[in-house]
Structure 1
Amino acid sequence: MTGWSENGWSAVEDELARWSGLGRRCALWLRDDDAVAAGPALDRLLSRTAGAGIPLGLAVIPADAQPSLAGALAGALAGSMHVTPLVHGWSHADHAAPGAKKCEFGPERPAAVRRDDAERGLHALRALFGERLLPLFVPPWNRMAADMPALLAAAGYHAVSGFGPAPRRRDGLAWVNTHLDLIDWRGGRSAVAPDALLAGLLRELRDRREGRRDALRDPDEPIGLLSHHRVHDAAIWDLLDRLLDRLAGHSALVWPSIADLSRT
């Protein structure tokens, strides 16, 4: 892979050394979106995260979820708690107004319809995964209407995961967001430039260490990595592998369980 410089990693290592010097550890987590069925890509993701000893939040599209997905996760779920299924909207369908950014749970649809879809997704995945399912809602495209948190709480959800700093208003929900996307969606839809990702990681670490409330609502907010195993090419897999090789088990980092992160 091109673009991964040791200078970029050295800057991250220096920052992590500052955390260690302060006796602090930063929390990280990994969320993977759009899971629907078993397959080689999912197997690779499960094997890689299990081998690295880190928890995985797997956002599943309820309307498309196949029994094979439950079968693929059965061994992982029974053998360890490292995989946690999450609810990824309902059908990952775009209902946004023409010209607007894609959104399944935006204000274009009545609130009651959106709440019903969210509740339907929760029930469908509970039927697949039972109590292993975490009532954490991942809105497709990481966006939703301003009234959705209250609707989600009423539908039985305990937490939400989007992208970027968590909002100040919580509506009784825990927010466990992601902050660094491994994919360059606006470019070639392959791996984001590795040094750009490292620069983003460095910025997130510094914001938390320095308590920069102008950039971050909560200085203790975990840093979330975001992947999409179904569209990974060789470059994205390589980027994920390199990140986990460097970050998993680092003394200045901790990878809490998704359930622990989602407690209010």
Structure 2
Amino acid sequence: MQPDWAPLRAELKKWHRKDLVLPVWWRDDDAIDLSENLDRLIALSDSVGVPVHLAVIPRNATQALADCIQETPYLIPVVHGWAHRNHQPAEDTKCEFGENRPIGDRREEAAEGLRRLERLLGDRVAPMFVPPWNRVPKAFHPVLAEIGYRALSTCFPRDQVEAAPGLTQINTHIDPLYWRPARLLSDPDLIVDRIVDLLKRRRQGKADNAEPFGLLTHHLVHDDRVWEFCRQYWRELLEGPVSLYRADVP
């Protein structure tokens, strides 16, 4: 598997010529416990020198995972909802914190998610809320800020810097997986085209370049092709004028 990275290389040369810097970050979802794939994620993160914001499902997170995170500086734990449980009717898109549930129940679960990870990991936890399936109603954003979250992360370029006062929106932009009908790598050249289009819009001032440009991965379902694409992605992107974003650094 060898994508054509030439379009990205050409775009990054334009960034160099304009003295622009691209902030970048990495988020990986659905962590619960130790696994061979988590080991592989850590090894890749270490080899490319990019920290991973590990979105941990609080209700089911194990002490073994917490111990691993404590020993791994490149892992930055963030809160992935509460139980990664869908509460929507079958005909609706999946959502854990949808408005069909009482606000009190949703508030308590979001608060308990942060509390539980802090019990396991102390100040290693970055107060970022990552809703399962990247969905949470806008009306719930102020609640997240009230209970202690300082960032919200979903997907696609953000519309505004703050989702609510005190709650910074920091989304992901590239997901290499094609989820349906199978969890496989999307066409690599189409992913490269998507990256280039998003970076071009930033370079031209049509999109917010202050928002870190995010890669979204799901280590538990990766096959060898996905791992190799991620390795090449970071190798190529880091050749550009980039800065690394960490949610645990003010």
TM-score bracket, normalised by the shorter chain, equals over 0.9
Q: How far did residue 5 of structure 1 move? A: 3.8
1:39-90 deviation per Cα after TM superposition (whole angstroms, max 9, x unaligned): 211111011111211121000000110011012222213xxxx221000000
Name the counterpart of 2:95: 103
Distance 1:127 1:245 in 2: 36
Give the 5 Å matches for 1:124-135: 124-135=116-127
Distance 2:96 2:154 in 1: 13
Distance 1:222 1:58 in 2: 16
What RMSD in Å do the two structures reach over aligned CA positions? Answer: 1.4
User: Aligned pair in 2 of structure 1 residues 187, 98: CA closer, same or farther (>3 Å)?
Assistant: closer
Distance 1:219 1:67 in 2: 38
Distance 2:45 2:209 in 1: 26
Aligned equivalent of 1:222, options 202, 205, 212:
212
Q: Which runs of 5+ in 2 are unaligned?
A: none
Contact 2:22 2:241 in 1 (8 A): yes
User: Aligned pair in 2 of structure 1 residues 186, 99: CA closer, same or farther (>3 Å)?
Assistant: same
Is the counterpart of residue 193 in structure 1 residue 187 in structure 2? Answer: yes
Name the counterpart of 2:39: 43
Q: How far did residue 160 of structure 1 move? A: 0.4
* TM-score, length of structure 1 as denominator length: 0.90
Name the counterpart of 2:156: 164
Letter paired with 1:69: L
Distance 1:20 1:231 in 2: 35
Q: How far did residue 204 of structure 1 move? A: 1.1
Letter paired with 1:238: E
Distance 1:221 1:188 in 2: 31
Distance 1:146 1:23 in 2: 36
Aligned equivalent of 2:7, options 2, 8, 11:
11
Q: How far did residue 123 of structure 1 move? A: 0.4
SS, match of residue 254 in structure 1: strand
Letter paired with 1:247: L
1:132-151 deviation per Cα after TM superposition (whole angstroms, max 9, x unaligned): 10110000000011211111
Contact 1:204 1:223 in 2 (8 A): no
Distance 1:259 1:22 in 2: 29
Distance 1:235 1:127 in 2: 36
Is the counterpart of residue 33 in structure 1 residue 29 in structure 2? Answer: yes
SS, match of residue 29 in structure 1: strand
Aligned positions, number = 248
Distance 2:52 2:39 in 1: 13
Distance 1:238 1:166 in 2: 28
Aligned equivalent of 1:174, options 168, 174, 179:
168
Is the counterpart of residue 141 in structure 1 residue 123 in structure 2? Answer: no
Aligned equivalent of 2:205, options 193, 198, 211:
211
Percent identity between matched residues is 36
Aligned equivalent of 2:222, options 232, 240, 248:
232
Q: Which runs of 5+ in 1 are unaligned?
A: none
SS, match of residue 57 in structure 1: strand
1:155-184 deviation per Cα after TM superposition (whole angstroms, max 9, x unaligned): 111110000122325212111100110111
SS, match of residue 149 in structure 1: helix
Distance 1:134 1:220 in 2: 19
SS, match of residue 82 in structure 2: coil
Is the counterpart of residue 83 in structure 1 residue 75 in structure 2? Answer: yes
Q: How far did residue 221 of structure 1 move? A: 1.8
Distance 1:257 1:154 in 2: 22
* TM-score, length of structure 2 as denominator length: 0.95
Distance 1:90 1:5 in 2: 37
